[in-house]
Amino acid sequence: MTPANENKRGFLFLQGPHGPFYAELSQHLEDLGHKTWRVAFNQGDVAFWKNKRTLIRYTEPLTEWANYFRELVKSKKITDIVLYGDTREIHATAVLHAKRLNLTVHVFEEGYLRPYWVTYERNGSNGNSRLMDMSVTQLREMTKRLKEKHVLPPAHWGDTRHHVFYGALYHWFVMFANLRFPNFTPHRKTTAAQEFKWHLRRLYRRPFHSLLRWKASRKVSRLSVPYHLVMLQLEHDASVQYHSPFNTTQEFLDVVFQAFANGAPSQHHLVFKSHPLDDGRVNLRKIVTELAAHHGVEDRVHFIYGGKLAKLLDHAKTAVTINSTAGQQALWRSIPLKTFGSSIYGKPEFVSDAPLSEFFADPDQPDSEAYILFREFLLCTSQLPGGFYSPSGRRQLLRSLTESMLAKNDPYDNFMKTPKPRRTILRLVG
C-alpha cells in the first residue's frame, strides 16, 4: 500500500451509488494530485463518469474478472480500490485479491445512522465490518475519554427522491444502451428492464401510497392499546441476502406472525412499515393481509407504506426487524428490539436473545447507556455527514471524505489512537 503522504496514489473505482457521486469524488482526488480510474460494467456506469479518458470498459465474462483485475492493478499502478457494498460477486472478488496485493480497500454503504450520514469503512461493511468483532466492553473503554457529545440532528431524509430518479436513469441506460457490454450480468436476479419498470411504477404510485400511508398512520396514532412495530427491508438488499437467515421477506413474515399469534397479549396490535425505497416488486401488503387472516389476527394488524419512522417508533412497545439500520432508531429511544441475522449493533446489550413469542409477551430493555456510547463511537469513526444523491448532501460528504480516504489508518484505528469527536457542521440535505 502506498503511504498516505505520497503525492501519487492510484484509485480504481468499481460499482458505486447511482448518480454523480463517484465522478465528483474522483475530481476531488485528482485535484489533490492522485490518479483515478473507473471500471464500467454497463452503460449505466459509463453515463455517470465524466472523464472518459480514465474509463475502462469491462466487457468480458465474469469468470475472467479476477485475472483482469490483477492485470489492471499492475498496469495502472493501482494502490486503492473504491466500491459501494462488498457482497456482489464483482466486489467480493476484487476485495479478495486486493487484500492479497496489499491494496487499500475503501467501502461505502448507506449510513448505519440515517438519514444524515453515510458509512465509510476499510475492507468490509455490515456483516463484514470490523464492528462485528468489537464488544461493548471494548467500545466503552475507547469512548469513555470523550468529553463532548454529538447533537442529534432533526430527522430528515433529503435524498429519497434523488435516489429514485438516479436509479431509474441508471437502469434506463442499462436497458436501452448496453450493446457494448454483451456479458454484463446484474448482481441481483432481476433484469435491468424489471428494475427500470419498478422504479417508474414507484414514482407514479407515490400519490396513491401517500394516501394509504396517511390513512393507516392516522389509524395507528389513534390506537389506545400497545403495538409492536415491524420494520421491513428490501428483500433484494445485501443485508437480507448475505447477512440473514432468510431468502425472502415472506419467510421472515411467517416467523413474525407465528410468534405474534402465540405470544402477544390479545389486546396488542402489530404494525408493519415497508422500506422507504420499496418498489412493489413483492406485494408485501397482500402477504401481510393473507397471513393476518390465516393466523386469525386480521383485526389487530396494520400495514404502512414507507414514510418516516420517528412517530411510529415514539409510541411503539417493541420493534422487530431482520437487521435493518432502522433498528438503531429504536435503540436510541430505548425501545426493546428483536433482530435476526447479522448487524453491527447486534450486541447482547442491545438486542433481545429471547424467542420472538416470548419477546412479544415480555420484552427485555436494551442497555441505553451502552448504546449511547456505541452511537458516539460510530459518529466519531465510520459515519460521515452528508449523502450520495442530492447536490448539497454530496458537498457535505466530500468535505470530510477525502481526508478519511487519504489517512494512513482506517477510521477505527485512528479513533483508538486518539479518541476525539469529529467536528462537522450538519446541514439539511434537500
| CA dist list (Å): 186 to 94, 172, 310 | 16, 14, 34
- Cβ neighbours around 352 below 10 Å, total: 19
Residue 3 has a pLDDT of 43
Contact 309/335 with Cβ under 8 angstroms? no
Residue 163 has a pLDDT of 80
Angle at 106 between CA 411 and CA 239, to 5 degrees: 95
Q: What is the mean pLDDT of each run of 10 residues along the chain (430 residues)?
A: 62 96 97 97 94 96 97 98 95 97 97 89 95 91 68 51 82 83 75 62 66 85 95 91 94 98 97 87 92 97 91 95 95 96 95 97 95 91 92 90 94 82 46
Extract the C-alpha cell encoding 375.
Answer: 452511537
Cα separation, 358 vs 251, in Å, equals 19
Extract the C-alpha cell encoding 360.
Answer: 412479544
Contact 9/82 with Cβ under 8 angstroms? no
Residue 117: strand, helix, or coil: strand
Cα separation, 422 vs 418, in Å, equals 11
Contact 320/244 with Cβ under 8 angstroms? no
Contact 29/11 with Cβ under 8 angstroms? yes
Strand partners, 231: 273, 321
Strand partners, 37: 12
Extract the C-alpha cell encoding 88.
Answer: 456482489
Note the helical H segments in 131-191: 136-143, 160-176
pTM of the model: 0.83
Strand partners, 302: 271
Residue 216 has a pLDDT of 83
Extract the C-alpha cell encoding 395.
Answer: 458537498
User: For the chain, what is the radius of gyration of the CA atoms?
Assistant: 22
φ, ψ for residue 30 (rounded to 5)? -60, -40
Residue 272: strand, helix, or coil: strand
Residue 1 has a pLDDT of 43
List of domains in the chain: 10-155+382-417 (3.40.50.20)
